[in-house]
Amino acid sequence: MSHYTKKDIMRLVEEEDVEFIRLQFTDLFGNLKNAAVTASQLEKVLDNRYVFDGSCVEGFLHDNDMDMFLCPDLDTLAIFPWRPQQGKVARLICDIQKRDGSPYEGDSRYILQKVLKEAEGLGYRFDVGPECEFFLFHTDDDGNPTVFSHEKAGYFDMSPIDQGENVRRDIILTLEEMGFEVESSYHEVASAQHEIDFRYDEALLSADNIMTFKLAVKTIAKRFGMHATFMPKPRVGINGSSMHTNISLKKDGKNVFADENDEYGLSQEAYWFIGGLMKHARGLSAITNPLVNSYKRLFPAQTGAGFTAPAYISWSPINRSQMIRIPAQREENTRIELRSPDPSCNPYLTLAVCLAAGLDGIKNHIEPPKPVNEDVRKMTDEERMALNIEPLPRNLYEALNGLEQDELVKQVLGEELCKCYIAAKKQEWESYSAQVSQWETEQYLYRF
C-alpha cells in the first residue's frame, strides 16, 4: 500500500489529469456514499475542510449540530479505470469528524479503528481475507435488475457454460489497475454465482477493499448489461452468497494462531479466539447477517439439500458446514474461517465486532467446546442437544434480540449507535412481517 503526503496527492492529481475526486464513506448499514469535488477544491479537502450535513445520512445520530467533516485517508487514493481517461475520476476514502475535530462515534470505519487500536495495545495485528460471492443476473428491457439468468453453470465450470467469465475477467483487470492483488476467481456452486478472492491483508485495508470491490463488480457488470447483486439469497432452492472471512492474529511478525505441536496445529490463543466468537455468535449475527433475507441463506427450507451455510454454533478443523472451520494450511498460514457472514454486511462493523469477540476470548481464556466433524444439519435435535450445540438466530428478529443481550457487541457499537441500528432493523423486520407473500397466497388462498 502506498503512503502519500498532501503534496504527493496534489502532484498525482495534476500529473494524471484527474478532474474529479470522489470523497467516499460508508454509512451504518454498509452503503457506500460519496461527494464529488473538482481538482480545484482538492487543497481544501486535504485540509479536512469539506463540510456536509450528517442529518441527511441514514443511520447517523441526530442532534442539534450535524455539520460534519470528511477527512480523507491519503493512502486510499485510487483512480477509477472505468471513468474517462481525460479528466479522470479518483477517489479518497474518508473518516468523519465532528465540528470540534474529534472522530464521529457513528463512523463505522472509526469503530473498526478503535478495536484495532485495542488489539495493537495487546501487541496484535489483525489480518483478514474475505471471500465475497455474488450473482450476475440479466436486466429487463428497461434496465431494471431481475433474478433471471440463462446460464446453468456450476462449481468451477468454464466458458461457454460459464457465461459470466468475461465479466469476471474485466472485473479482475479493473481491480488490478486499482492496486488489488487478485488471488483467484471462479464460478460458484449456484448458476450465475461467482467468487473473486483478493489478497489477505490488514483489517482496515481489507474492509476498504471490500467496499471498493463491491463498487467495481456492480459497475463492470452494468457495462455488460447485467446486474451484480450481493443479496444473500436472491432465489429459493439454490445456494446463497456468503462472505467467508479468514482471520489471523500476528504478534512480532508471527502468526499467533499456529502451534505445530497441537493436534490440530492451533495455539491456545486460537482456541480462545474461537471460544470468543462462539460465545458471542448470537450477538454478532445482527451485524454479520443484517438483512431479513440473510436468514433465508442460513436456514433454507430444503434441509439436507446440500447447502453448506452454517445454521448452528459449532466449529471443526475440517467440516465445511460449521460456523467456524480451520482451512487446511498451517504454520504461518493458519487461519480461522468464520463462515456465517454474508456480503450484505457493513465490513467495518463486522470485522470490529468479530475482533472484539475474539479478543474477549483471549483475555478471558474462553475455551471452545470440542470440535464437531459431522454435518450438524443432518443431526437430530436430540443429537444436537446432547452435544450442547445451539442454533444461530433463525431470523433477523432473533438476531436483534441476541444483539440486545450482548454487552460486548453493544459496547463496540456504542450505546446510541446501537439503539439507532436496532430501531432501524426492527422497523425492517416489522415491515417484512406485514407483507403477504406469494408463498402464503399459494398455500392458503384456496384452502381457507
Q: Is-catalytic flag, 99?
A: no
Instruction: Please tell me which residue in 14, 43, 47, 53 is annotated as part of the active site.
Output: 53
Cα–Cα distance measured from residue 82 to residue 172, given in angstroms and rounded to the nearest whole number:
12
Q: Is-catalytic flag, 337?
A: yes
* C-alpha cell at position 89: 475520476
Q: Is-catalytic flag, 131?
A: yes
Instruction: Please tell me which residue in 151, 188, 269, 406 is annotated as part of the active site.
Output: 188
Phi/psi for 227 (5° steps) reads -120, 125
Helices 396-404, 281-288: crossing angle, 10 deg rounding: 120
Instruction: Please tell me which residue in 162, 269, 337, 360 is annotated as part of the active site.
Output: 337
Instruction: Please tell me which residue in 127, 131, 208, 342 is annotated as part of the active site.
Output: 131
From residue 103, alpha-carbon distances to 52, 69, 90, 377 in Å are 15, 9, 24, 44
Q: Is-catalytic flag, 244?
A: yes
The set of residues, in sequence order, having a beta carbon less than 8 Å from that of 229 and lying 6+ positions away, is 134, 135, 137, 145
Q: Is-catalytic flag, 151?
A: no
Instruction: Please tell me which residue in 107, 151, 165, 195 is annotated as part of the active site.
Output: 195
Instruction: Please tell me which residue in 83, 125, 138, 320 is annotated as part of the active site.
Output: 320
Instruction: Please tell me which residue in 133, 165, 259, 269 is annotated as part of the active site.
Output: 133
Instruction: Please tell me which residue in 168, 187, 194, 244 is annotated as part of the active site.
Output: 244
Q: Is-catalytic flag, 133?
A: yes
* Residue of 49, 349, 368 whose CA lies nearest to 211: 349
Phi/psi for 70 (5° steps) reads -90, 120
Q: Which amino acid is at 173?
A: L
Cβ count within 10 A of residue 230: 21
Instruction: Please tell me which residue in 109, 194, 282, 339 is annotated as part of the active site.
Output: 339
* C-alpha cell at position 300: 433454507
Residues with catalytic function:
53, 131, 133, 188, 195, 244, 320, 337, 339
